[in-house]
Amino acid sequence: MRPLLLLSLTACATTSSVTVPTTPALSGRADTHLHLTMSAAAKPFMKGEPGSGPLTSTTSERLINGVSAEDLHATGVTFVFGALWPPLRLRPGRSALDEALHQVRELDAFMGRQPAFALASNSQDARRILSTGRIAVVAQLEGGEGIARVQDVDALYAAGVRVITVVHFVSTQLGGAAKGQLSRALLGAAADGALEAEGLSALGREVVSRMVQLGMVIDVAHASDRFVSDVLDVTEPLGVPVLVSHTAARALSNVERNLSDVLARRVAASGGLIGLTLSRVQLETDAGHRLSAQHQPGTCDDLVAHWRHLASVASADTLVLGSDVNGFITRPSPGGLCPDGVRNYGDLNQVWAALETSGIPSAALDGMADKLLGLLERVESRADESAQAQARRRYARVRDERSVLDVP
């Protein structure tokens, strides 16, 4: 076993008996994957951000902002993981890690422009922000392409990232991504049924262990089955829950990007959460799994079917919203249980009503914010405070530097 991995597991084992403090429950709903600053990540293609400009007006528009603070409040969503997407080598002069850190600074700048939102660096921050009526945001990096060494995780932590979606569209030095994602998302190509053979790499194991030490949420959305299983092999003995931030049920739509029943049960047993996406491509439902003869494919009937299935497999309490709004997705079309479809975030009230009509208890929806806070608290309770302090010292100036500066 490599020394850093051994150190990580030893440190985590010494904190495994830490109890999570009991805190009052919060009402409110949550979104585990919402892009607030895609206009900065995808410039000049993406137009607008929450607080400025028009919203998407159809379910197929991809390059216009679809989120406002008013709609978040109106739909009861008070707590979100703010997804940061570093473009794939499209910014001259910046490495993949530099770009990830740049996107964190863009999120900081957004918070300065939009006082309805506030950035939380831990669960205690989030509770304080929620008590003021603002929307609490935790920085979530979508894709670990820039992590070339374990110390890069420290740089991201010092910059304010608290959630990492470890792999994204393609396999990296950290391990295997689910097969066929780009061809399905961009071309609508059907999956061939083959699964990605690559799991968590040796570096990936060290990165996951370091994330545990630092109290960072491990997000296995986009990962191969083997990768998800390998991560759970590391985290389960330590009592650390994991997140699948935006996915759907593979039993209803057979693509590796969607979560299998077996892995859904393991995530639930870990104390983790599963976020259901609004991506119409992922929610395509096989004919044999539709709700009824009246089920309208392509509408939010598909989302309800996926939600009900995963609730039966992993329990309704494991499920939250992981919308991926502003993430280049097309959303459920008008019809079925949501007459207007999901044109933008304001249409979520139709989705909530559809879920409740279909038997999902309102309490399971209203408790999303508290479930997400609970996930953060459990992850934080396994953290090593000395490792957190080391990361802050090592990269004390990382927020202010264009490139990563390793400070002894």
Task: Read off the pLDDT of residues 263-301 as tens digits, 9 standing for 90 and up.
Answer: 999 999 999 999 999 999 999 998 888 888 899 999 999
Residue 189 has a pLDDT of 53
Residue 91 has a pLDDT of 66
Residue with tokens 């000049």: 44
Residue 181 has a pLDDT of 79
Q: Which range is least confidently modeled, 5-19, 93-107, 132-146, 301-315?
A: 5-19
Residue 9 has a pLDDT of 43
The better pLDDT of the pair 23, 77 is held by 77
Q: Judge if the upstream peptide bond of residue 44 is cis by omega within 30 degrees of 0.
A: yes
Give me the domains of the chain, ranges plus CATH numbers: 29-397 (3.20.20.140)
pLDDT at 121 over 60: yes
Exposure letters 199-227 (e unless 16+ CB within 10 A, then b) = bbbebbbbbbbbbbbbbbbbbbbbbbbbb
Residue 5 has a pLDDT of 42
Which residues fall within 8 angstroms of residue 149, CB to CB, at 6 or more apart? 203
Residue 7 has a pLDDT of 39
Residue 73 · residue 349 · CB < 8 Å: no
Q: What is the mean pLDDT of residues 386-399?
A: 86
- Report the mean per-residue pLDDT for the chain: 89
Q: Is the pTM of this model over 0.95?
A: no
CA distance 340 to 353: 13
Residue 396 has a pLDDT of 80
Question: What number of CA atoms fall less than 13 Å from residue 211's CA on the CB side?
Answer: 32
Q: What are phi and psi of 399, to 5 degrees?
A: -65, -25
Query: CB-based burial of residue 321 (10 Å sphere; 0-12 exposed, 13-18 middle, 19+ buried)?
Result: buried
Residue 355 · residue 276 · CB < 8 Å: no
Top-confidence range, 8-12, 128-132, 180-184, 392-396: 128-132
Residue 190 has a pLDDT of 57
Residue 188 has a pLDDT of 54
Q: Which range is least confidently modeled, 21-25, 48-52, 247-251, 328-332?
A: 21-25
